[in-house]
Structure 1
Amino acid sequence: MTHEDVWRAIERFATEHGMSCSGLAKCSGLDPTTFNKSKRWSKEGQPRWPSTNSISKILSSTGASIQDFTKFIEPHGTERQ
C-alpha cells in the first residue's frame, strides 16, 4: 500500500458516496481543502498522509465501516476498471 493508493481510495470513496473530495471533507466537518491534491505533498516533497482523524470523520459522516473504506485501497497498477 502506497501513499497514492490511500489518496486514490479517498477519491473513490467520495465518488461512491456521490461527492467530490471537497464535498466529502465538508460533509465530514473538515476543511473543504483537506483532501486537495495540493495538500498531499509538503513543500519539501515529502508525502502527507491523511490522518486517522480525517478517515474516522469520513466514515462517521457516511455511516461506512473501515472495511467499506479499505475495499477502495488497491495496490498501484491494479485499479478496478
Structure 2
Amino acid sequence: MFTHEQIWAAFEVIAERCGMSLSALSKSAGLDPTSFNLSKRYGPGGRKRWPSTETLARVLQVANLDMRAFAEILGTEAEN
C-alpha cells in the first residue's frame, strides 16, 4: 500500500525528472499552478487531501509515464 506522503513525494520526483517545478508540472497538466503546494495537501482540521485520479492521469500524461512507472516511483518512495 502507499501513503498520502508517498503520493505527494512521487509528484515531486516526477516534477524533478521532468526538469520542472511542482507549479510548472501542475500548469502543464492543466491545473492551477498552486494545486501541488504543501498548503493544499491538507484541508481544515488537518484532513489529508489526496490527488484525484484525473489529476494523476494528467500528470502521467505530461510526464509520459504509465501506471507501472508511477508504481515504481511509489515503491522507491516507500523505501526512503
Which portions of structure 1, spanning 4 or more consecutive aligned residues, are displaced by more than 4 angstroms? none
- The answer on whether the counterparts of 1:25 and 1:35 sit within 8 Å (CA) in structure 2 is yes
Where structure 2 has 5 or more consecutive residues not aligned to the other structure, the ranges are: none
Structure 1 partner of 2:73: 72
Would you tell me which structure has more helix in proportion to its own residues? 2
Pairwise CA distance, 1:15:
0.4
- Bigger relative CO (Cα 8 Å, ≥ 6 apart): 1
Determine whether 1:23 maps to 2:37. no
SS at match of 2:15: helix
- The answer on whether the counterparts of 1:3 and 1:47 sit within 8 Å (CA) in structure 2 is yes
Identity of aligned residues (%): 42
TM-score, normalised by the number of residues in structure 1: 0.87
Amino acid at match of 1:57: R
Pairwise CA distance, 1:9:
0.5
Inter-partner Cα distance in structure 2 for 1:7 and 1:44: 19
